[in-house]
Structure 1
């Protein structure tokens, strides 16, 4: 099934699966916290009492500590309490101004990520240095989906720990755009998805024509032959509607993509066609949601 990029970009690409770098690359400098039963924290005890360890944790977790912040974040995320979860991150400016209706509109993109959060988050270590902290936990890898040890960065703001889900440049953009951030990201990502789908349509048409004496096909036929995913018939995955127009003799075609809801799922309209020299050309412009002319 065609992978919905926005679902990855809102959380995975922007690393709500907090993106830490894999610990494997930092094992030699992380205080060898993997597999240890003690918290590595300048301000906390160096030993633990096993009865105080929450289920799923390999260290003692102090209330309101960096490790506790990570624990609560993933608990909220798994329970689909998205506002509460993101309040604990540096994406807070993008969520705190949203109305309940606006947040509900974004849930279609957030919920698949919530389902990927393990029932138990194994937190293995915590390093605190002044107003900066690193927590290690076993989380799904962004690319492989396998559970791997990840590093999660935090900073202290007004006596609270904040999870750094995006880098400084992205955080600056989040602060600038505020509650429009996720909606702008959705549109930008749908634009990318539309280009990708049109590219897939082009390749599918090429393969089909090679097998059918130079004749092209409509989208349902390409799907039936297994050259395109079924998502090409729906706007659910990419926010765009797709159309293939065949010439009368079936030996030429053009393809177009228009936003399902202009201004909400996308702004640009795309058209893929051949120029006078039979070279493929993709054009894109804002047509108010109409087919390009």
Structure 2
């Protein structure tokens, strides 16, 4: 039950959910022309025989300012940590335009975690263009960052440029409405959802531990030491929350708490995990001005 979490990418894995963030794309054998018979540009190729964890450069001709060129430039800027310039190539642009450099640095932990996973070369192996829309296929790391797989990246034409569709239409409307506030609101939502999920993981880890230790529970440090919890549960840098665990003297019961590291900024809701009479977990949460619920 070794836990292999993806530290520091919670916020922007949610943001880059439409095939742009590494491993968030749709697996595909290769990009194919649409059945409508509309014209396509570029060449599609099947999966090559490279090792699962390696990638090479483009296997198709990439024209300047083409969809494939836009994708290649996006990942280049991301790897070079030119985050504002990278996001400008996506439909997240309205959310970043109003942020100052200092405000953008508040998201540095999440963005740098993504940049570390960008391969030195992006193997772009397919491009299909039809009626102002495009699909580019590329070999990118899978969700666990363990092997490469072919994924689809969707774009649309916007004047003379191509825009990578990082979010769907509903999210794009929200971005246009909220502007620079979008990332802040999304960060709170993401951290709160992850806080609840982390408490649920904590209970599963405790359950596994107790089955091997005569019904006794252990501390957060104990669960981390045996690989049942990720180390980042002890820092709010990537999680946005402070976690605490309280054991009874006989170690036969416990409760756990999660409170926002910065109330109103990294989160609003406080959460508590408690055991009912049958040792089943109950996670409750409410706005408690950043204070523990128990």
TM-score, normalised to structure 2, is: 0.80
The runs of at least 4 consecutive aligned structure 1 residues that moved more than 6 Å come to none
- 1:238 maps onto 2:239 in alignment: yes
How much does 1:258 deviate?
A: 0.8
Name the SS for the 2:5 alignment partner. Answer: coil
Match of 1:99 in 2: 100
Structure 2 Cα separation of the partners of residues 115 and 258 of structure 1? 29
In structure 2, the CA distance between the partners of 1:125 and 1:273, relative to structure 1 (3 Å rule), is closer
Structure 2 Cα separation of the partners of residues 267 and 216 of structure 1? 29
Q: Which runs of 5+ in 1 are unaligned?
A: 37-54
How much does 1:284 deviate?
A: 0.2
Match of 1:34 in 2: 44
- Greater relative contact order (Cα < 8 A, sep 6+): 2
The structure with the largest alpha-carbon Rg is 1
Pairs aligned (count): 275
Match of 1:196 in 2: 197
Match of 1:123 in 2: 124
Name the SS for the 1:13 alignment partner. Answer: coil
How much does 1:292 deviate?
A: 0.7
Q: Which runs of 5+ in 2 are unaligned?
A: 47-55
Contact 2:259 2:270 in 1 (8 A): yes
Structure 1 residues 14-23 or 124-133, which shifts more?
A: 14-23
In structure 2, the CA distance between the partners of 1:224 and 1:65, relative to structure 1 (3 Å rule), is closer
**Aligned partner of 2:28 among 23, 29, 41:** 23
Name the SS for the 2:103 alignment partner. Answer: helix
Q: Which is helix-richer, 1 or 2?
A: 1
How much does 1:212 deviate?
A: 4.2
In structure 2, the CA distance between the partners of 1:206 and 1:56, relative to structure 1 (3 Å rule), is closer
Give runs of aligned pairs for residues 195-274 of structure 1, distance below 5 A.
195-274=196-275
Structure 1 Cα separation of the partners of residues 86 and 104 of structure 2? 13
Give runs of aligned pairs for residues 30-69 of structure 1, distance below 5 A.
33-35=43-45, 56-69=57-70
Note the aligned Cα RMSD (angstroms). 2.9
How much does 1:7 deviate?
A: 5.1
**Aligned partner of 1:9 among 13, 22, 28:** 13
How much does 1:94 deviate?
A: 1.2
Give runs of aligned pairs for residues 147-162 of structure 1, distance below 5 A.
147-162=148-163
Structure 2 Cα separation of the partners of residues 220 and 228 of structure 1? 9
Contact 2:31 2:128 in 1 (8 A): no
How much does 1:249 deviate?
A: 4.3
